[in-house]
Amino acid sequence: MFSFLVKRLLQSVVVLVAVALIAFSLFKFVGDPINNMVGQDTTLEEREALRESLGLNDPFHQQFYNFMVNAAVGDFGISYRHKVPVSDLIAERAPATLELSIISALLSIFIGIPMGVYTAINRSGFLSRSFMTVSLVGISLPTFLIGILFIFFFGVILRWLPTFGRGEVVALGWWTTGLLTWSGIKSLILPSITLALFQMTLIMRLVRTEMLEVLCTDYIKFARARGLHERAVNFGHALKNTLIPVITIIGLQLGLVMAFAIITETVFQWPGMGMLFIQAIEEVDVPVMAAYLMMISLIFVAINLLVDILYAFVDPRLTIDGGSKHG
Amino acid sequence: MHLLETKNISIGFPSRHGMFVAVKDVSINVSKGEILGVVGESGAGKSTIGNAIISLLEPPGKVIEGEVWFNGDRIDNLSSEEKRRLRGRKIGMIFQDPQTSLDPLKTIKQQLVETIDLHLRLGRKGSEQRAIELLEQVGIPDPELRINHYPHQFSGGMRQRVVIALALSGEPELIIADEPTTALDVSVQKQILDLMRKLCIEKNVGMILVTHDMGVIAEVTDRVAVMYNSKLMELGDTKQILGNPQHEYTKSLISAIPRPDKRIERFPLVTYIEDVVESTDAFNISEHWLGQSRDFSMQTANDGTILEVKDLCMRFQTTNSLFKSKRKFLDAVKDVNFSIKEGETFGIVGESGSGKSTIARMVTGLYKPHSGSVNFLGKEISSINHTPEVLPYRRQMQMVFQDPFSSLNSRMKVMDIVAEPIIFHKLASSKDEVRQIVLDLLKLVGMSDDAHIKYPHQFSGGQRQRISIARALATRPRFLICDEPTSALDVSVQAQILNLLKDLQQELNLTMLFISHDLPVIRQMCDTVAVMQHGQMLELSQTEQLFENPQHEYSKHLLGLMPKLNMLS
């Protein structure tokens, strides 16, 4: 266990450095941040002085080294645009994104898995067939289109739900939440469903396929031959075995939900990190972009590690060191 | 009154192309305390009968005619809920593969307690007590401790005992055992069969034992039903069926069983089986391409030795660690020495895990040995693996694998499969020549004329093994390694393949390394035999000498486990 953790943490650091390096070299091509920061009447000398003070004239490796050293202690510099520390900006925006993506993830897990199980058990029922057909829509329509359709139906035609922003939020220390006010909850409905739809259908189809496979195995047949009730067979034996491969996918999808939030946040004008990132790209706000990318990759790496550890707990056949426990 | 009786049942699987009838008009019966064997080759419908009795036919399969009676009640027309109540409580079932018949994520305690409590209503504590008693009965040592383990923590034989304990947990009156020992080693098979026999007598339980193995039938059954092609051929006392079979099919089936007690030149042709084209008439091998253009430029040693293995070792890492001292290794092969002379068939026999396949893989270069040397035709080939200089040597050595289903690429046509080694080793000058060679090879191994345009899935297991052999012969090797070539095949098909290998060996003067766990097969095929256990070679002697007068204790033990087929005529 110990050597596994050490190995994985070292790998994680390598991944993060690689992401930083790739991101950092890409930023050279997004444009000149100085142009966006100054007015038209700034002289060349003043621009040069600003460039020098921001460290943009240093050689690439020097810039990268400075960035890494500061990032290691959580200091991502000051946003060129907002003139405040990037960490403050992210801390301010993070609750919105986290709330949205966690609600979406919960929706997709707690609706997707039961639907998958249901369609696997009642394979030819009318309801299962309808689920399968509808899920095709969820898997094939792009997120922004679904978002816009939702806005059109529920916001514009029916006027039931708000179409942009978070509504009223309540501050709990540095965290702001929309879950405690009625308008906050109403604002959350459309974006979270939009974001969840793809993952939900994916999880449903995955669970269905895995479950159908598990239902054909010998141990399910043997459980039936022992006269166990259908319920005990399906939920006591089949479901747990189904979920083992599903855990990996759900873990990876959780990271994707946060990354995909960019599109949903843009469509619904959701004041989260995705919006911050899109604006940062438009304005060549390098420190914000770098910090955002680093954070997303950190989340991915952390989730992957968690999934691996979780695996060893769910599946008794695996020990984390790669050998097998033998009694 | 019989415990169970099927009256003229037929079982069908409706499909788009009409009804596929898997079992036609079969009447069998079992009494309490009796073991009825149902024997037949794959596809004969024997497992389908077992599944139908316990009403676990794969949908859409169903009993289309006839009746099933249990203890004086008709059971085939019950509702599915009533049938569920019979399962486990009145009729138990044991499946073939203990590796897959237990839920891997639950401890055996959870699985036992769940079943016992469902059927006997003993409560948690009572069920647990009962579970421990059951484990003790089926011969699991330390049941109080072992009950908390997961299935993967048991060996194959122990797992099958757990499966038997589970099948017994509802105290059923009839047990259907579907190939219960097929996936087990011969020594474990013997223990499991003894256990089942004992339980039948002690608990006065009736048993239907479905198997393809005549040895198992001879060992434990009281009566036998012989099935072929969905129909019941013959039903009678085990002694009578084995010693004095009446039906033509039974006669030919029994003639195909490798005899443990004496060596015969060839298996009498199994006439009753269809999918074979015996075309030995076609061509004279010594004038043909296969016989002529073989490369004998590489010389064997003076005494005719073609392969010499010295102090061969192989170890696999079982536990990884940052610290060298904490890493653990398994010695799969330890200091093995042997040499094979040209034209000889050298057998390696042993139970699973004894390292026999590992040796084959090191000889062919699929594994790199930990230490030791493999000398083939005067060249050390184990260390210089994939260099051009070793290719001509590798060409002289080909392998036939155990599983005919996974050893052929299912996306390639048979023509391309057999042609691949010819093209790789640049053994033909034109495409037409390659084609001609492939066609001849396929004919040589007894495939029909249109075989080359088909894909592997269109063939049966035995036919695929023939294709594998054709592929191995395509480079015109002098040395053939057969790793359990027939253990996945039916006994009649096995007889054909073994005949084919014998013929090819004579015609082409092939040298063979023949690996098997099956002692009777070894006796029929090999000149010299090595007995292996735990990676070590325990005894090496002439085949007849080993069978008549084994030296090592383990060899005696193995020979003692062979099913006695002395009822055979």
Q: Which residues of chain A lie closer than 8 angstroms to B93, CB-CB?
A: 222, 225-226
C-alpha to C-alpha distance for B24 and B35, rounded to whole angstroms: 22
- Per-residue buried b or exposed e for A152-178, using 16+ beta carbons within 10 Å of the residue's own CB: eebbeeeeebbbebbeebeeeeeebbb
Question: Which helix (H) or strand (E) segment is A205 a member of?
Answer: helix A182-215
Does residue B389 sit in the same domain as residue B496? Answer: yes
pLDDT beyond 60 at A142: yes
C-alpha to C-alpha distance for B534 and B358, rounded to whole angstroms: 12
Contact at 8 Å (CB) between A139 and A205?
yes
Contact at 8 Å (CB) between B6 and B28?
yes
Supply the DSSP symbol for B6.
E
Q: Is B328 on the interface with A (CB under 8 A)?
A: yes
Does residue B223 sit in the same domain as residue B314? Answer: no
In terms of residues, how long is chain B?
Answer: 569
Q: B196-247, pLDDT tens digit by residue? A: 898 889 889 999 999 988 888 888 999 999 998 889 999 999 999 988 888 8
pLDDT beyond 80 at B336: yes
What angle separates helix B156-168 from helix B123-137, to the nearest 10 degrees? 130
Does residue B234 sit in the same domain as residue B314? Answer: no
Q: Note whether residue B24 is domain-resident.
A: no
Task: Kindly report whether the peptide bond that precedes residue B60 is cis, defined as omega within 30 degrees of 0.
Answer: yes
Task: Tell me the three state secondary structure of residue A309.
Answer: helix
Q: Is B1 on the interface with A (CB under 8 A)?
A: no
Interface of B with A in 167-226 (CB under 8 A): 167, 169-170
C-alpha to C-alpha distance for B441 and B496, rounded to whole angstroms: 17
Query: Where are the domains positioned within chain A?
Result: 2-72, 88-314
Cβ of B326: how many Cβ atoms within 10 Å? 11
pLDDT beyond 60 at B291: no
Mean pLDDT over each residue of chain A, to the nearest integer: 83
Q: Note whether residue B271 is domain-resident.
A: no
The tally of CA atoms less than 13 A away on the side-chain side of residue B75 is: 23
| Residue A326 binned pLDDT confidence (cut-offs 50, 70, 90) | very low
Letter for the amino acid at A102? Answer: I
**Assembly ipTM:** 0.77
Question: Which helix (H) or strand (E) segment is B505 a member of?
Answer: helix B491-508
Does residue B221 sit in the same domain as residue B330? Answer: no
A7 min Cα distance to partner chain B (Å): 9
Contact at 8 Å (CB) between A267 and A194?
yes
| Interface contacts (A, B; CB < 8 Å) | 100
Q: Per the CB < 8 Å rule, is B320 touching A241?
A: no
What angle separates helix A239-267 from helix A182-215, to the nearest 10 degrees? 140
Strand B223-228 vs strand B4-15: parallel, antiparallel, or unpaired?
A: unpaired
Q: Counting Cβ atoms within 10 Å, is residue A200 exposed (0-12), middle (13-18) or buried (19+)?
A: buried
Q: Is B266 on the interface with A (CB under 8 A)?
A: no
Q: Is B327 on the interface with A (CB under 8 A)?
A: no
C-alpha to C-alpha distance for B526 and B511, rounded to whole angstroms: 11
Residue where the block lists tokens 């013929």: B503
Does residue B249 sit in the same domain as residue B350? Answer: no
**Averaged pLDDT for residues A275-286:** 84
pLDDT beyond 80 at B54: yes
Query: Which one has a higher pLDDT value, A215 or B318?
Result: A215
pLDDT beyond 70 at B566: no
**Averaged pLDDT for residues B16-39:** 90
pLDDT beyond 90 at A8: no
**Averaged pLDDT for residues B457-482:** 88
The pLDDT, as a whole number, for residue B415 is 92
The dihedrals phi and psi of B371, each to the nearest 5 degrees, come to -155, 170
B462 min Cα distance to partner chain A (Å): 25
- Per-residue buried b or exposed e for B235-249, using 16+ beta carbons within 10 Å of the residue's own CB: bbebeebbeebebeb
A317 min Cα distance to partner chain B (Å): 6
Token duo for residue B490: 């039916």
Strands (E), B351-396: 371-376, 379-380
Does residue B200 sit in the same domain as residue B309? Answer: no
Q: Note whether residue B293 is domain-resident.
A: no
pLDDT beyond 70 at A303: yes
Q: Which residues of chain B lie closer than 8 angstroms to A219, CB-CB?
A: 100-104
**Averaged pLDDT for residues B486-490:** 81
Q: Which residues of chain A lie closer than 8 angstroms to B86, CB-CB?
A: 227
Contact at 8 Å (CB) between B307 and B344?
no
For residue B332, give the nearest of B315, B347, B319, B320 by alpha carbon. Answer: B315
The tally of CA atoms less than 13 A away on the side-chain side of residue B38 is: 30
pLDDT beyond 80 at B271: no
The pLDDT, as a whole number, for residue B28 is 93
Q: A11-38, pLDDT tens digit by residue? A: 888 988 898 888 777 777 766 777 767 7
| Residue A322 binned pLDDT confidence (cut-offs 50, 70, 90) | very low
The pLDDT, as a whole number, for residue A321 is 47
For residue B174, give the nearest of B194, B195, B200 by alpha carbon. Answer: B200
* B118: nearest CB among A218, A228, A325: A228
The pLDDT, as a whole number, for residue A324 is 40
C-alpha to C-alpha distance for B515 and B522, rounded to whole angstroms: 8
pLDDT beyond 70 at B277: no
Query: Which one has a higher pLDDT value, B327 or A19?
Result: A19
Q: Is A41 on the interface with B (CB under 8 A)?
A: no
pLDDT beyond 70 at B284: no
Lowest mean pLDDT among B291-305, B385-399, B411-425, B496-510: B291-305
pLDDT beyond 90 at A207: yes
Interface of A with B in 5-34 (CB under 8 A): 6
The tally of CA atoms less than 13 A away on the side-chain side of residue B64 is: 15
Q: Which residues of chain A lie closer than 8 angstroms to B115, CB-CB?
A: 226-228
Q: Positive or negative, the Cα torsion across B246, B251, B257, B262?
A: positive
Output the furthest CA–CA distance in chain B (Å, rounded).
78
| Residue A136 binned pLDDT confidence (cut-offs 50, 70, 90) | confident
| Residue B569 binned pLDDT confidence (cut-offs 50, 70, 90) | low
| Assigned superfamily of A88-314 | MetI-like (1.10.3720.10)
Any idea what the CATH number is for the domain that residue B376 is in?
Answer: 3.40.50.300
Q: What is the DSSP string of B312-339?
A: EEEEEEEE--SSGGG-EEEEEEEEEEEE
Does residue B314 sit in the same domain as residue B248? Answer: no
Please say which residue of B202, B230, B255 terminates a domain. B255
Domain of residue B359 covers: 300-412+477-561
Q: Is A214 on the interface with B (CB under 8 A)?
A: no
Q: Per the CB < 8 Å rule, is B105 touching A315?
A: yes
Long-range contacts of B139-143 (CB under 8 A, 24+ apart): B139/B191, B139/B195, B140/B165
Strands (E), B16-156: 18-26, 29-30, 35-39, 62-70, 73-74, 91-94
pLDDT beyond 60 at B280: no
Q: B412-456, pLDDT tens digit by residue? A: 999 999 999 988 888 888 888 889 889 888 888 888 888 888 888
Strand-pairing partners, residue B329, are B317
The pLDDT, as a whole number, for residue A245 is 85
Question: Which helix (H) or strand (E) segment is B414 a member of?
Answer: helix B414-424
Does residue B204 sit in the same domain as residue B320? Answer: no
Mean pLDDT over each residue of chain B, to the nearest integer: 86
Q: Which residues of chain A lie closer than 8 angstroms to B85, CB-CB?
A: 227
In terms of residues, how long is chain A?
Answer: 327
Q: Per the CB < 8 Å rule, is A218 touching B153?
A: no
- The percent of residues in chain B predicted with pLDDT above 70, rounded, is 93
The pLDDT, as a whole number, for residue B248 is 85
Q: Is A314 on the interface with B (CB under 8 A)?
A: yes
Does residue B90 sit in the same domain as residue B235? Answer: yes
The pLDDT, as a whole number, for residue B292 is 57
C-alpha to C-alpha distance for B352 and B332, rounded to whole angstroms: 11
Residue of B nearest to A222 (CA): B101
Strand B223-228 vs strand B35-39: parallel, antiparallel, or unpaired?
A: parallel
Strand B62-70 vs strand B223-228: parallel, antiparallel, or unpaired?
A: unpaired
The pLDDT, as a whole number, for residue B568 is 66
Q: Per the CB < 8 Å rule, is A3 touching B104?
A: no
| Residue B102 binned pLDDT confidence (cut-offs 50, 70, 90) | very high
Q: Note whether residue B63 is domain-resident.
A: no
B49 min Cα distance to partner chain A (Å): 14
Q: Note whether residue B68 is domain-resident.
A: no
Does residue B100 sit in the same domain as residue B229? Answer: yes
* B318: nearest CB among A230, A323, A327: A323
Strand-pairing partners, residue B530, are B348, B540
The pLDDT, as a whole number, for residue A323 is 41
Highest mean pLDDT among A68-72, B15-19, B532-536: B532-536
Q: A182-204, pLDDT tens digit by residue? A: 888 888 888 898 888 888 998 99
Interface of B with A in 22-81 (CB under 8 A): 54, 56
Q: Note whether residue B524 is domain-resident.
A: yes
The pLDDT, as a whole number, for residue B384 is 62
The tally of CA atoms less than 13 A away on the side-chain side of residue A85 is: 8
Q: Note whether residue B440 is domain-resident.
A: no
Which of A221, A226, A244 is best to mutate for the B interface (most B CBs within 10 A)?
A: A226
pLDDT beyond 90 at A153: no
* B118: nearest CB among A6, A227, A323: A227
Query: Which one has a higher pLDDT value, B294 or B187?
Result: B187
Residue of A nearest to B146 (CA): A327
Does residue B403 sit in the same domain as residue B325? Answer: yes
Q: Note whether residue B533 is domain-resident.
A: yes
Does residue B245 sit in the same domain as residue B317? Answer: no
Residue of B nearest to A230 (CA): B84
Task: Tell me the three state secondary structure of residue A169.
Answer: coil
- Total domains in chain B come to 2
